[in-house]
Structure 1
Amino acid sequence: MTPALKLLKGKPHRTLEYAHDPRAPAYGEEAAQALGLEPARVFKTLVCQLEGSSARQPLVVAVVPVTGTLNLKALARACHARKAALAPHEAAERATGYVVGGISPLGQKKRLPLWVDDSAEGVEEMFISGGRRGLEIGLAPALLCELGNGQFAPLARED
């Protein structure tokens, strides 16, 4: 049981598993295809570094649909930072306790500020990584924000 699933114990959610292919170029898109999910409802978790922020924590988590790309300028604006960039894999893994491709926005070793793309507000159920490759969690976007102390913001641009 992953830390994300432990955090969800007793809360409405569902878990979905699939056989992860290590050759898959994109984890979220692989999950959508393997599980037959609508890609716009499958979200990827990205750990980012902020520069010029008044926040003491330079790392934040952005959750965006796999059908889009994180707009780093929009994330920086939401966080009141000068600039945002993707964090190096090692820093993301060290801060979250998860491996890249299986980073969940929930149950992280170090609780990072959470930002969720506002497109999630329009869906009843969204899918996020469950804390390991091949494990997805379906839950209400409001529950994700409640448990992760997250906020909605326009973060993604369509690919």
Structure 2
Amino acid sequence: MAKAKKSHQHKGTGSTPATVALEHAGIPFHLYEYEHSADHMDNGYGLEAVEKLGKDAQQIFKTLMADAGTQRVIGIVPVTGHLDLKALATAVGVKKLTMADPKIAQRESGYVLGGISPLGQRTKHVTVLDESAFAFEEILVSGGKRGFDIGISPLDLLGALDASRASIATW
């Protein structure tokens, strides 16, 4: 198992648009880094984080982009769950959502697949965090590259993203 580096509010180390956004906002966070393996590209990047960091799978969240036609919407759900597109559509007040094309997700977020962070995205999107996040003092989201996660309070994440919360995950 890879060893996670853990520290408070970094200045400059492991800098990505996500960490820069948190530093600029003065929001505390921890960094968790591990050696990304290409073997996990088919099994899911989030499950690799669970395995290598030894964290509760319900505590590690993935950032998914949905498409409403005229806009994209971000849903943040546990890596072991699935995004309920109907629940996300209801939460943001649109009729229907489909999963965004991976190329659009990469272009609009500014990140590569498997490293898309909800923070510091190139384009600001309406964002919803799954209600299950609030069972934890700290959740992990991608820090903007594969093998690089940010530990943050769910309430701080909501504030940093100007996001809302709703039950948008299914298992």
TM range (shorter): over 0.9
* Residue equivalent to 1:110: 123
* Residue equivalent to 2:63: 45
Per-residue deviation, 1:121: 1.6
* Residue equivalent to 1:14: 30
Q: Percent identity at matched positions? A: 41
Question: Could you state the TM-score of these two structures normalised by the residue count of structure 2?
Answer: 0.87
> Which of the pair has the greater relative contact order for Cα pairs under 8 Å at 6+ separation?
1
Per-residue deviation, 1:22: 1.4
* Residue equivalent to 1:4: 18
Q: Does 1:151 align with 2:164?
A: yes
* Residue equivalent to 2:150: 137
Residue number among 88, 92, 102 corresponding to 1:75 in the alignment: 88
Q: Secondary structure at the match of 2:145?
A: coil
Q: Does 1:101 align with 2:117?
A: no
User: What residue ranges of structure 1 are gaps of 5+ in the alignment?
Assistant: 52-56
Per-residue deviation, 1:15: 0.1
Per-residue deviation, 1:82: 1.2
Q: Does 1:64 align with 2:80?
A: no
Q: Secondary structure at the match of 2:18?
A: helix
Query: Is the CA contact (8 Å cut-off) linking 2:110 and 2:121 kept in structure 1?
Result: yes
Q: CA RMSD in A?
A: 1.0
Q: How many residues align?
A: 153
